[in-house]
Amino acid sequence: MANPHPTKPQMGGRREGAGRPKGSKNINSMSSVKKLEELGFDPIEMMVEKYNDIQTKLDYLETIGKHTSGAYAQMTATQGTLINNLMAYGYKKIPDKIEQEVTEKKPISILLTDNKKEDKDE
């Protein structure tokens, strides 16, 4: 949107070059990443390890015929959660809903007519 008063600086709203660059991390994110690196902990790697560990246990339960147990169902659900968490690192999240606001208002024209027919013969 153009500044309606070109002699005054625009206050607020969207401006060219304003705001944090896209993809940059905030201070909290950077410190968290640094701490994880110091600890030698990679959350993505750990989630993949847990996924594979659960798969090994599920395979075992299937071989002994316990694939209908509550433990099997819980481990399958945990695997699904791990997959959903890992998806965030490989794919963009699909928005739940998209709202669009129509700001352009078009004028409405109303034509009033008289539908009564006058009897000119009288």
Query: Alpha carbon of 42 to those of 28, 70, 111: distances in Å?
Result: 17, 30, 69
Domain count, the chain: 1
Residue 27, classed as helix, strand or coil, is helix
Amino acid 107: pLDDT: 83
- The pLDDT value given to residue 51: 95
CB 47 within 8 A of CB 85: yes
The region that residue 8 occupies, defined by phi over 0 for left and psi between -120 and 50 for alpha, beta otherwise, is beta
* Within a domain: 80: yes
pLDDT at res. 28 = 66
For 76, residues 6+ apart whose C-beta sits below 8 A from its C-beta are 58
For residues 13 and 114, which has the higher predicted lDDT (pLDDT)?
114
Using alpha carbons, select from 83, 58, 53, 59 the residue that is nearest to residue 72. Answer: 58
pLDDT tens digits along 81-119: 999 888 888 777 767 777 777 778 788 888 888 877 655
**pLDDT tens string 33-90:** 888 899 999 988 999 999 999 999 999 999 998 888 888 999 999 999 999 888 888 7
State the residue range of the domain holding 74: 42-90
Predicted confidence band at 25 (pLDDT cuts at 50, 70, 90)?
low
Domain-located, residue 52: yes
In sequence order, what are the residues at sequence separation of 6 or more whose Cβ sits closer than 8 angstroms to the Cβ of residue 26?
A: 20
pLDDT at res. 97 = 74
8 vs 73, higher pLDDT: 73
Instruction: For residue 61, tell me if it sits in a domain.
Output: yes
pLDDT for residue 120 is more than 60: no
Beta strands in the chain, from DSSP E residues, in sequence order: none
Q: How far apart are CA 54 and CA 68, in angstroms?
A: 15
